[in-house]
């Protein structure tokens, strides 16, 4: 059931055929161009004729319902093409504007039900005789949209408890959240608010009434004082509120993660089964941030919808944070955790992934989510043990708010960095696709958060120290410290097993250092410490060792900046760009579509031998079309290889003598295709010399 109420049309008043403010900003010439655009600009691949005598397998649907978790509502969320979209960067701005205007005309022809100008999203009804998949595919084919996706009807995420005898509130134990250590530093400030976007709250509950702020009814967009109902019509909202902010140290009941925080209920539904539309959930989170609430917590399904990340970016722009549950289907969530939404999975009492918890590269962190003891809506003194990523999520939201209570000057990125750097590493070493950055640890996170008084807490030890040998040198790099008042770093060295001594005379301002003047063949070990502006010094990092040699890395690029020019590449045209879809390792690679090239100047002076290695693959290349690797000798290009291999391969080539000792050396990758759908991908490029 969709949650647009009977007052919907009058509330939003967008049934008229008028264009939005965005539409009116587009120039009249764009309107003319929009009306002149063909229905679909097909490439030459679209001209290929399929044999009528062979049955064609239907394409799988883009969107699939999961009953009881996400269901079609008869509405779509659409966002017109944005200037920073990858597709938009490949076309001229007047054409993009024309495509956008045509897209808006398409939406108004369908009938715009709701419009959210702060994120340039529209909600439209699926026309009779069509469906979500067909209509989304039709609209996306116009080329004028960033995304078109169902305005899903979503459901609260929790699983029924399966063991009522589990210890109460085990998640606060010293070997899990270590909450008592955190509370010795900070229990939460009433000036910091967690907004629970959910089914309502039992406002008179003995553990929830004290720091509760006025609620908001999202379907009618009315405050509680204006008649907007905020009572819990399902029970899920009261459970989630208690996990985040149930009052502690009051001699009754339980304690939430931040038991002196303010909390606000943003009731998102009028449905007794708890279901809510995606657009109401993201609207609730955005409105809470606009009210000044620091953290918006959403314990519903649907996190892998584009609209969620648009909302997260908007909320970050207001200085807030969006925390969303990963879901309870035990499935892999593809995506990129380096975004503006904290996606939370769940762990059990043994610090293992909860059997139901989703996982994958979209998940940032995990938190306890099995048999969580919290407030219930049955009576003013009711409590229950519940399980699900629904309850891991408000725990993390409460922790974010605790950190902000300790230091309100932190940015959202700094708060997230503190939580990431202090989380307990579970599973494979480092960031992984089961636990993300690890299971949150409140005690360590608060200890790493500087307060407003005299700072006597040392920074966390630097992590990720790596040592790379050069010719008579070692290059060091490590992860940047999340310490908000970081002063810098100091480097210590041991030579051939001797004692460590400091080798940096002054504090380093960046997380890297090159140690020169070394002896090739000797072993050098290093560690790094961080120091804050109060003079507090961290524990040493883990050590890293290297043996300098005559072979050195002259250039390397994994394209992780997400920008080719940041790596020093010269590009021919917009058909060459960095893309997450072209990554062999890490998150980014280089994509060369159609006919284009990228080149990099690299001095090989002083080297007698030069080796080039990289990973590459192609897609769609036809006869006579290749991905080329070439080098420049100062007067002409020389072929390294040409390939149309369609699977990733790592290759390495030692170049002819002319490549060595050459101040004019260049490396180039080039394609000669004739269609944007035909391309080559390149990643992890390394040039070494000896």
Can 146 be counted among the known catalytic residues?
Answer: no
Q: Bridge-partner residues for 343, per DSSP?
A: 324
Q: How many helices (H) and strands (E) does the chain have?
A: 12, 35
Catalytic annotation present for 236: yes
From first CA to last CA, the distance across the chain in angstroms is 68
Please identify which of the residues 198, 293, 681, 683 carries the catalytic annotation.
198
Cα–chain center distance at 546: 34
Nearest residue to 1 via CA among 307, 273, 236: 273
Residue 246 and residue 394 in contact, taking contact as beta carbons nearer than 8 Å = no
DSSP state of 648: -
Query: Which strands make up the sheet holding 486-495, listed edge to edge?
Result: 501-502, 486-495, 524-532, 544-546
What are the strands, taking DSSP E only, across 633-675? 637-643, 649-654, 666-672
Q: Which of 146, 297, 301, 390 is catalytic?
A: 390
- Residue count of the chain: 690
Q: Is residue 232 annotated as a catalytic residue, yes or no?
A: no
Q: Cβ atoms within 10 A of the Cβ of 496, count?
A: 10
Task: In whole angstroms, give the CA distance from residue 588 to residue 586.
Answer: 6
Strand 341-347 to 321-325 pairing = parallel
Residue 257 CB neighbours (<10 A)? 32
Cα 31 versus chain centre, distance: 35
Query: Is 646 in a helix, a strand, or coil?
Result: coil
Return all residues near 232 (Cβ < 8 A) that are at least 6 apart: 199, 200, 201, 202, 238, 377
Marked catalytic residue, from 179, 236, 293, 405: 236
Q: At 494, which helix (H) or strand (E)?
A: strand 486-495
Distance (Å, whole) CA 237 – CA 266 = 9
User: What is the chain's alpha carbon radius of gyration, rounded to the nearest angstrom?
Assistant: 28
Q: Let me know: does 332 contact 105? Beta carbons within 8 Å.
A: no
Helix (H) or strand (E) holding 499: none
- How far is the C-alpha of 524 from the C-alpha of 544, rounded, in Å? 8
Residues in Cβ contact with 84 at an 8 Å cutoff, skipping those fewer than 6 apart: none
Pairing relationship of beta strands 212-217 and 262-267 according to DSSP bridges: parallel
Measured distance CA(229)–CA(216) in Å, rounded: 8
Determine contact, residues 346/356, Cβ cutoff 8 Å.
Answer: yes
654 by DSSP, 3-state: which? strand
In whole angstroms, what separates CA 410 from the centre of its chain? 19
Give the SS3 label for residue 537: strand
Tell me how far apart the 2 most distant CA atoms of the chain are, in Å: 84
Angle between helices 132-141 and 93-110 (to 10 degrees): 150
H or E segment and range at residue 621:
none
State the catalytic residues. 198, 236, 390
């Amino acid at each position: 059931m969709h949650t647009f109420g009977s007052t919907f049309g009058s509330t939003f008043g967008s049934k008229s055929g008028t264009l939005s403010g965005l539409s009116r900003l587009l120039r009249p010439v764009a309107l003319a161009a929009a009306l002149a655009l063909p229905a679909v600009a097909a490439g030459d691949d679209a001209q290929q004729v399929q044999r009528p005598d062979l049955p064609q397998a239907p394409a799988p649907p883009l969107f699939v319902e999961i009953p009881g978790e996400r269901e079609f509502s008869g509405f779509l969320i659409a966002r017109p093409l944005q200037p920073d979209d990858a597709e938009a960067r490949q076309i001229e701005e007047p054409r993009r504007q024309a495509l956008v205007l045509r897209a808006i005309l398409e939406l108004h022809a369908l009938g715009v039900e709701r419009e959210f100008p702060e994120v340039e999203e529209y909600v439209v009804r699926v026309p009779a005789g069509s469906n979500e998949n067909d209509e989304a595919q039709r609209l996306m084919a116009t080329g004028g949209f960033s995304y078109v996706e169902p305005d899903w009807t979503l459901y609260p995420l929790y699983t029924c408890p399966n063991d009522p005898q589990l210890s109460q509130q085990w998640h606060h134990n010293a070997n899990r959240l270590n909450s008592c250590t955190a509370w010795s530093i900070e229990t939460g400030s009433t000036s910091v608010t967690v907004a629970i976007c959910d089914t309502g709250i039992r406002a008179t509950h003995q553990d929830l009434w004290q720091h509760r702020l006025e609620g908001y009814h999202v379907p009618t967009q009315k405050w509680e004082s204006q008649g907007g109902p905020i009572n819990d019509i399902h029970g899920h909202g009261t459970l989630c509120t208690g996990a985040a902010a149930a009052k502690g140290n009051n001699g009754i009941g339980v304690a939430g993660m931040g038991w002196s925080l303010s909390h606000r209920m943003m009731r998102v539904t009028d449905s007794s089964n708890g279901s809510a539309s995606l657009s109401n959930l993201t609207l609730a989170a955005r409105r809470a941030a606009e009210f000044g609430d620091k953290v918006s917590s959403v314990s519903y399904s649907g996190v892998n919808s584009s609209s969620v990340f648009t909302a997260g970016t908007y909320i970050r722009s207001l200085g807030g944070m969006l925390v969303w549950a990963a879901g309870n289907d035990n499935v892999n969530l593809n995506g990129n955790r380096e975004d503006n939404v904290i996606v939370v999975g769940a762990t059990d009492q043994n610090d293992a992934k909860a059997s139901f918890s989703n996982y994958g590269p979209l998940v940032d962190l995990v938190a306890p989510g099995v048999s969580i003891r919290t407030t219930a809506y049955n009576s003013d003194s009711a409590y229950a043990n519940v399980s699900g990523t629904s309850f891991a999520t408000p725990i993390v939201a409460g922790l974010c708010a605790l950190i902000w209570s300790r230091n309100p000057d932190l940015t959202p990125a700094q708060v997230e960095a503190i939580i990431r750097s202090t989380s307990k590493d579970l599973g494979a070493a480092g960031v992984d696709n089961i636990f993300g950055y690890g299971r949150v640890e409140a005690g360590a996170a608060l200890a790493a958060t500087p307060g407003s008084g005299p700072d006597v807490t040392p920074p966390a030890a630097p992590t990720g120290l790596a040592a790379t040998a050069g010719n008579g040198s070692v290059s060091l790099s490590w992860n940047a410290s999340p310490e908000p008042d970081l002063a810098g770093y100091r480097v210590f060295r041991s030579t051939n097993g001797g004692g460590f001594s400091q080798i940096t005379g002054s504090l380093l301002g960046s997380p890297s250092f090159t140690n020169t003047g070394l002896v090739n063949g000797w072993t050098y070990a290093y560690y790094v410490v961080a120091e804050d502006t109060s003079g507090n010094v961290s524990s040493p990092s883990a050590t890293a060792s290297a043996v300098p040699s005559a072979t050195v890395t002259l250039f390397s690029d994994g394209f992780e900046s997400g920008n080719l020019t940041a790596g020093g590449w010269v590009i021919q045209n917009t058909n060459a760009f960095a893309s997450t879809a072209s990554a062999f390792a890490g998150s980014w690679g280089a994509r060369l579509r159609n006919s284009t090239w990228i080149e990099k100047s690299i001095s090989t002076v002083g080297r007698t031998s030069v080796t080039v290695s990289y990973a590459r693959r192609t897609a769609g290349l036809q006869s006579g079309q290749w991905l080329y690797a070439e080098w420049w000798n100062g007067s002409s290009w020389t072929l390294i290889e040409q390939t149309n291999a369609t699977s990733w391969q790592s290759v390495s080539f030692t170049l002819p003598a002319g490549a060595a000792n050459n101040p004019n050396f260049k490396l180039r990758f080039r394609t000669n295709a004739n269609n944007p759908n035909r391309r080559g991908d390149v990643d992890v490029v390394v040039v070494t010399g000896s």
